Structure 1
């Protein structure tokens, strides 16, 4: 959800020259099932423009209508949306609506936190009923400081209910390779909200314009590659060169990302592993065990676009610790 919040703040900053008021809608509680879970947010501008969504599209019009009173008087409110007779999800949503007026300090610290890939916390104070209250509101805890989202709400009312959310760094995908299939994987990963880094050889003369949705391009020789990966990072090695793949595997041998995938058939993977062990006999078995090769889930993918979907699906199953299955065969809730 961090990438959605990042987009909201980005869109708000871009709108500031127009001096438009904005309301943040946050799902703070849920009874039953819903398309999205608590913690999802959307931003509503005074002209009716919206950034993000809190459902599959069923609730947004009602949120826009309910937000008008907050635009008028500035008092935060909780709206209750009972979808049992209107939605396929059959849930009751409790949605906090509040003026979105972050201070310059909050904005500065937020982007610093995102850049440094640090975790942070968000606390929203509310009551579980359809009502307005001047003490309702959200606070961002960035480092040791709690910043109010609305500068007119300065205290955290401990007598109210509190929805707490720990925000992880944006999930990122590092694609090592710059061929056509890397372009497709970049495009599809960016659509999910992931931050995509492309690692390319300088001799390939690639630019960021070659990769739709890219976050960062690194041009580096494999022997000079010194990555620092965290648990919110996936890696896909797909250079289409046996020698380069081997060199990048050596550069990654001390890393423990959330996922590491290797494009290419099983025999090629085994040949790479044999060569890797011959050159580095002390390499950890855990490193080899974490490599998913061939990368992807068997969904019958043929085209580069379909292969990208198969790889993204495997990354999600590994990062979320799930076993892929047809949802029609799953008993109980879809979301934990």
Structure 2
């Protein structure tokens, strides 16, 4: 989501200066690549780049092709084959062992729901979204290619292109992706040539709530900022929880009994109890358990957690054992000692929990690093698999 917001900001700046732009999107990958489908990069007519579609090896060539797209005002699908280390393509042996399809489309300010505006609508709230981008492997300069559709709950936004013969199927398939929560690739069989679709599921960024405003919070806030997480601080001490100390955070000053009243939590919210105040944490954890927050991390040893849960149990709170959403001692086991290292272990654990990963070394993992996209299947205009 951070990259999407940076692209929107860059588009607004370019548009205010009268610069034309193009959007490059990774729409399909076979094998391995540095970035997965959904990676994006905005290119201006004077060569400014925002975002990334690779680790830096494809951007130069994509820039040259984007300038052509801007001049011709026509989308283009580009294939990068990085599977051959001896390939002299664009001057380096990439060796990523993958075939990457990148769609480059012009972003026209005269189109109400152009790709940048659809991204803006996607990022304006914390609702899960589905973004549909069309591309054609058989006709790489097909004019129907591009970011065409955005779905949220029961609302749909579509760009100003001509209606597609499979438009209703797109709506239906987009709603199915929104319900299931994972991206799919589809191919629609039409009379002229098959049209491919990357139906992307996009979740809001992680919302991080930190109870505590001591000096050990600084590296956590900094790392969360780098990742683009929205961060809120809660503390009862105004001299600690201040904009002077934490300029990038939302600040809530209050007693634990009412501090969470101003905090909206959802299934993308993580809360850290780092007050170093046992009673403050105890009041908060009861409220958080009632809300069913997905991740509650608490500083301190195992004995602190066990004592706290036992006390609230005796007070009548219905909890048995250690709830699955309570992580204490907090963080991954990386041998952290300093506040910066502890922050790294905490942020890594939060990321692992929200991506449902074990947090182990990739060297020891079996299979693929990234989840493989759902299998492509072909549907004709009547919704029949062919």
TM-score normalized with structure 2 length: 0.79
1:128 is aligned to 2:137? yes
1:177-227 superposed Cα distances (whole Å, 9 cap, x missing partner): 11112121011012122222222325335333423643x222332111224
* Partner Cα distance (1:50, 1:61) in 2: 10
Superposed counterparts of 1:1-336, under 5 Å:
2-85=1-84, 86-101=93-108, 114-128=123-137, 131-143=140-152, 144-148=155-159, 153-156=161-164, 158=166, 159=190, 160-201=195-236, 203-204=238-239, 206-211=241-246, 213-214=248-249, 216-224=250-258, 225-226=260-261, 227-279=263-315, 281-285=316-320, 288-336=323-371
Deviation at 1:283, TM superposition (A): 2.6
* Partner Cα distance (1:228, 1:283) in 2: 23
* Partner Cα distance (1:157, 1:78) in 2: 21
Retained in 1: the 8 A contact 2:29–2:36? yes
Retained in 1: the 8 A contact 2:213–2:240? no
Deviation at 1:77, TM superposition (A): 0.7
Aligned residues: 330
Deviation at 1:275, TM superposition (A): 2.6
TM-score normalized with structure 1 length: 0.90
Deviation at 1:18, TM superposition (A): 0.9
* Partner Cα distance (2:363, 2:24) in 1: 32
SS of match in other structure, 1:139: strand
SS of match in other structure, 2:213: coil
Runs (5+) with no aligned partner, structure 1? none
Retained in 1: the 8 A contact 2:76–2:140? yes
Deviation at 1:251, TM superposition (A): 2.4
1:88–1:303 CA distance, 2 compared to 1 (3 A): farther
* Partner Cα distance (1:31, 1:113) in 2: 27
Runs (5+) with no aligned partner, structure 2? 85-92, 167-189, 372-386
SS of match in other structure, 2:264: coil
* Partner Cα distance (2:355, 2:34) in 1: 18
Give the superposed CA RMSD. 2.4
Retained in 1: the 8 A contact 2:113–2:157? no
* Partner Cα distance (2:319, 2:123) in 1: 32
Retained in 2: the 8 A contact 1:187–1:213? no
1:127-173 superposed Cα distances (whole Å, 9 cap, x missing partner): 1257222221112424423232xx5x343464411111121122221
1:88–1:175 CA distance, 2 compared to 1 (3 A): farther
1:39–1:201 CA distance, 2 compared to 1 (3 A): same
1:112–1:78 CA distance, 2 compared to 1 (3 A): closer
1:306-330 superposed Cα distances (whole Å, 9 cap, x missing partner): 1011011111222222222222222
